[in-house]
């Protein structure tokens, strides 16, 4: 009889040249198109966002080739032609759907990833190698763009700025916590400021509204017993680990390889969840949760409730938004399992 899969037995080693191969929209947005976005008719900004992004997508592949021709001839591009777009709005208004639709519609070579995924690749490959790999693109999409003044933000902003200078279109979407609805203050001015002189070359697409699914991501799911978690792990596409061994194992793998750690799985089972007290462990776990969420994997767990996984000092610190997002995502994955 086959025993359960253990993540701690997996040691993925993704060749540096392959790190960007899986930079495509997550499975839940594979079929996202502008035509499948359902705007709230009471929110005109949603229909306008579809039209603005559709227009932006029309010439991306062709304009990339033309930019190269113009650069060889010493001709400057039109000031009216935006170098990128920044999609801003609250939780649940469809920013990721529209960003994925832009990716699917645009011509040429494209890459789609979250802010943390690009930050991890820059850390793994270095800024020059990452830029060299992406400079051949017509479009780079960056979801969940964080503006928290961290080292990761500096590296991703530097990458986005360099891509614009290489005539690559950049599309970014703001990050929002689950309790941030469409009425929250815009982050567009902060994004433009961080992009320094290149900020003026971005078109701002502002989307207002509420979470169209009316989700309650703060609903606390029922934690399972260790026996129930082990039972759930008997599925052929499930893994089983203790929380402590999983956290220790994540420290031996570069975050850019966490996605490969989850290949072939539909359910991740973890026993004896406890509170994290080490900031490095907490940050790695956040990235791990993001990869679970991207792939819409079920998360079955025993032990401490997710809203207590991160210590009070962490929830009061500068990375509070990241931790709260991770809690909401864990709740969502556990409720749907």
| 151-165 helix and 127-134 helix, angle to the nearest 10 degrees | 40
Neighbour order of strands in the sheet with 169-174: 110-114, 139-145, 169-174, 84-89, 202-207
| SS3 assignment, position 104 | helix
What is the Cα 229 distance to its own chain's centre? 28
Name the segment(s) of the chain with CATH classification 3.30.750: 7-15+216-335
In sequence order, what E strands does 123-258 have?
Answer: 139-145, 169-174, 202-207, 238-242
Which residues are registered as beta bridge partners of 170? 84, 140
Q: Tell me how far CA of residue 68 lies from CA of 138, 185, 239, in angstroms.
A: 11, 38, 48
Q: Which helix (H) or strand (E) holds 228?
A: helix 226-232
Name the segment(s) of the chain with CATH classification 3.40.50.300: 31-207
Question: Which residue stretches of 58-196 are H helix?
Answer: 60-73, 95-105, 115-125, 127-134, 151-165, 188-194
The residues, any chain, with a CB within 8 Å of residue 196's CB and separated by 6 or more, are 161
Calculate ∠ Cα 235-224-264, nearest 5°.
30
In whole angstroms, what is the distance from residue 188 CA to residue 240 CA? Answer: 42
Question: According to the model, what pLDDT value does residue 322 have?
Answer: 87
Residue ranges of the chain whose pLDDT lies below 70: 1-3, 62-80, 149, 177-185, 212-218, 336-337
Question: According to the model, what pLDDT value does residue 70 have?
Answer: 47
In whole angstroms, what is the distance from residue 332 CA to residue 321 CA? Answer: 17
In whole angstroms, what is the distance from residue 332 CA to residue 215 CA? Answer: 9
CATH number of 31-207: 3.40.50.300
Question: According to the model, what pLDDT value does residue 213 have?
Answer: 61
Q: Which of 159, 147, 133 is nearest to 194 (CA)?
A: 147
Question: According to the model, what pLDDT value does residue 215 have?
Answer: 62
Q: Judge contact between 332 and 215, C-beta under 8 A.
A: yes
Q: Judge contact between 333 and 297, C-beta under 8 A.
A: yes
Question: According to the model, what pLDDT value does residue 197 have?
Answer: 84
In whole angstroms, what is the distance from residue 282 CA to residue 220 CA? Answer: 20
In whole angstroms, what is the distance from residue 239 CA to residue 233 CA? Answer: 6
Q: Which of 311, 334, 331 is nearest to 218 (CA)?
A: 331
Q: Judge contact between 332 and 217, C-beta under 8 A.
A: yes
Question: According to the model, what pLDDT value does residue 182 have?
Answer: 45
Kindly state the tokens that stand for 258.
Answer: 């966490």
CATH number of 7-15+216-335: 3.30.750
In whole angstroms, what is the distance from residue 30 CA to residue 124 CA? Answer: 26
């Amino acid at each position: 009889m086959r025993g359960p899969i253990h993540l701690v037995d997996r040691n993925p080693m993704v060749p540096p040249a392959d790190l960007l191969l899986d930079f495509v929209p997550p499975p839940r947005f594979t079929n996202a198109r502008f035509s499948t976005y359902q705007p709230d008719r009471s929110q005109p900004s949603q229909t306008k966002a579809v039209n603005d992004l559709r227009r932006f997508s029309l010439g991306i592949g062709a304009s990339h080739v033309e930019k190269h021709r113009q650069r060889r001839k010493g001709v400057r591009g039109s000031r009216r032609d935006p170098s990128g777009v920044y999609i801003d709005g609250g939780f649940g208004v469809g920013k990721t759907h529209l960003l994925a639709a832009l990716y699917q519609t645009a011509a040429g070579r494209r890459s789609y990833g979250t802010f943390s995924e690009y930050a991890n690749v820059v850390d793994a490959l270095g800024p020059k190698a990452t830029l060299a790999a992406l400079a051949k693109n017509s479009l780079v999409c960056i979801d969940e763009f964080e503006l928290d003044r961290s080292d990761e933000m500096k590296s991703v902003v530097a990458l986005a700025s360099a891509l614009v200078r290489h005539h690559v279109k950049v599309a970014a979407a703001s990050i929002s916590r689950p309790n941030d609805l469409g009425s929250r203050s815009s982050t567009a001015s902060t994004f433009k400021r961080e992009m320094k002189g290149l900020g003026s070359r971005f078109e701002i697409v502002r989307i207002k509204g509420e979470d169209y699914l009316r989700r309650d991501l703060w609903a606390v799911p029922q934690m399972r017993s260790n026996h129930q978690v082990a039972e759930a792990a008997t599925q052929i596409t499930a893994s089983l680990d203790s929380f402590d061994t999983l956290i220790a194992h994540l420290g031996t793998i570069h975050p850019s390889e966490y996605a490969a750690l989850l290949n072939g799985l539909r359910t991740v089972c973890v026993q004896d969840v406890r509170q994290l007290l080490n900031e490095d462990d907490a940050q790695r776990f956040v990235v791990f949760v993001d990869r679970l969420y991207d792939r819409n994997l079920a998360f079955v767990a025993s032990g401490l409730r997710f809203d207590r996984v991160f210590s009070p000092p962490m929830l009061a610190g500068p990375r509070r938004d990241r931790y709260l997002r991770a809690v909401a995502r864990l709740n969502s994955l556990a409720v749907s399992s």
